[in-house]
Amino acid sequence: MSLSSLGYRKGSIYEVIVTTFDAQKRPHAAPMGVTVSKAREFILRPFVETETLNTLKVSKCGVINVTSNPWRFFRTALKNEAWVGPPPSSWFEHAKQVMAPRLRSSDSYAEFYVMDILGRGPRRLIRCKAVHVDSTKREVTPYCRSTSATIESIIHATRVKELLKEGDIRGAKRLIDLMKYYGELTNRVSPKSDEAKIIRCLLRHMGGLITVSPQPRRS
């Protein structure tokens, strides 16, 4: 199977969860954008101070996991926050062809090797080659706007601290306002869902950060 068989289109950015092993062989997971460049090749652009970049430098392999479960994004994106905590080990299992973990509940996944790590500045460009691609989800799920709204809110939450670290309070407030909008949307279309609970939790903690000095990124 090629990446296109899973629905990836060349040049588009997709939000996935990258899973790797750290130096102690513990599963590490973090949401990240991936851009497909060829049938079995793609690019990751992690920030230089992230654990994901460090693990990929050492292991030279990993897995990109596609999931529609917002809790997976929530726990892996904000795992270093005391009010969230790391995802449980039961979420992971060994990949088939690379020395890395993968998400058990992923809809699809691609195991990969690192080809090159390039670039300067705040991000690195990592060229990767997929060596095993598979889909685990066979059922079609009806689309609900609350799912994408929640994932957008989680992504925004990971960026609020970075903006505050750079002194961009206006940018941080703009993202929090967007999260409030997504919360209103989710409460309207899916008021008793897990998605609504996640956004409420995010807003409780993100709003207070405007007056608190941000901590360094470790996602």
The domain locations on the chain are 3-135, 145-211
Q: Name the burial class of residue 82, with classes exposed (0-12), middle (13-18) and buried (19+) by CB atoms within 10 angstroms of its CB.
A: exposed
pLDDT of res. 211: 53
The pLDDT tens digits for 54-100 are: 999 999 999 999 998 899 999 999 999 999 999 999 999 999 999 99
Burial 63-80 (b: 16+ CB within 10 A, else e): bbbbbbbbbbbbbbbbbe
pLDDT of res. 110: 96
- Identity of the amino acid at 12: S
pLDDT of res. 216: 42
User: Is a pLDDT exceeding 50 seen at residue 215?
Assistant: no
Q: How many CB atoms lie within 10 A of CB 166?
A: 11
What average pLDDT does this structure show over 172-201?
A: 92
The pLDDT tens digits for 18-28 are: 999 998 999 99
What average pLDDT does this structure show over 162-186?
A: 92
Tokens of 110: 């691609």
Tokens of 74: 């929530």
User: Is a pLDDT exceeding 70 seen at residue 138?
Assistant: no
Contact criterion met (CB below 8 Å) for 141 and 67 = no
3-135, CATH topology level: Pnp Oxidase; Chain A (2.30.110)
Q: How big is the chain by its Cα radius of gyration, in Å?
A: 17
- Report CA torsion sign: 45, 49, 55, 60: positive
User: What single DSSP character describes residue 30?
Assistant: E
Whole-prediction pTM value? 0.82
pLDDT of res. 25: 92
Task: State the alpha helices, DSSP H only, in 98-144.
Answer: none
User: Is a pLDDT exceeding 90 seen at residue 184?
Assistant: yes
**Side-chain half-sphere CA neighbours of 28 within 13 A:** 21
Q: How confident is the model at residue 161 (pLDDT cuts 50, 70, 90)?
A: confident
pLDDT of res. 120: 83
End-to-end CA distance of the chain: 30
The pLDDT tens digits for 100-133 are: 999 998 999 999 999 999 988 889 999 999 999 9
For residues 50 and 54, give the distance between their C-alpha atoms in angstroms, rounded to a whole number: 7
Of the candidates 81, 109, 82, 84, the residue with the CA atom closest to the CA atom of residue 94 = 109
Contact criterion met (CB below 8 Å) for 19 and 44 = no
Helix (H) or strand (E) segment spanning residue 15: strand 13-21
